[in-house]
Amino acid sequence: MTTLSRAVLAVLASLAVLAGGWAYRSHLIDLGAAQEAQAAQVRQDAAVKAARASDAKVSAAAVASLQTQLTNQKAEHDRVSRDLQAALAASDLRAARLDARVAGLLDQAAELRERAAGAAGGTGSAPGEAGGDQADASVADLVESVEVNYGVCNRNATRLEALQAWYAKLRVGRQE
């Protein structure tokens, strides 16, 4: 072989080694990128798992707190209800009839007349129509109804306050 052919072979061998090195380097870069992507996915999965655990803990605490509040509120409402029933039994409010106009206005406010008429297939009536000046309810019935409605309103307010507190705690956890 001549010197020129040896030089060509040396250049070709050098190019082959260089090409092999570049291929190996590219393989290492791809491998590193794949490993980093896998590590990032593992970190993301851990973060999601921790966030879900935190959310579950906050939710469980909120539910337990709400149940305690509602239990205490029910006990207080039951006590007030018993006291009210005793006071009504000692009064003459059961004998006093509610004015038909007042009962009609209360029914309209609660949309009871429309619902009852719709269920019965009727058209409803204006306040104070059929029934003369006296409604088929006593003043004591009105007081009891107001007491029940206050209880429902208080329970709803407690639930909404608990929901707001729960949401605020979840938001704080997201910002950390």
**DSSP string covering 90-140, please?**
HSSTTTSEEEHHHHHHHHHHHTHHHHHHHHHT-----TT-TTTTEEEEEHH
- Residue type present at position 10: A
pLDDT along the chain (176 residues), means of 10: 84 92 92 94 94 90 93 94 93 88 80 61 49 72 89 93 91 66
pLDDT on residue 115: 63
Side-chain-facing half-sphere of 115: CA atoms under 13 Å: 6
pLDDT on residue 122: 53
* CA 25, chain centre distance (Å): 53
Find all residues with CB under 8 Å of 9, minimum gap 6, and list them.
1
pLDDT on residue 158: 94
Residue 163 CA to residue 21 CA, distance in Å, equals 62
Q: What letters, b where the CB count within 10 A reaches 16 and e where it falls short, cover 129-142?
A: eeeeeebebbbbbb
Q: Is the pTM higher than 0.75? A: no
Structure tokens at 128: 């104070």
**Listed residue (88, 113, 118) closest to 103, CA to CA:** 113
pLDDT on residue 17: 92
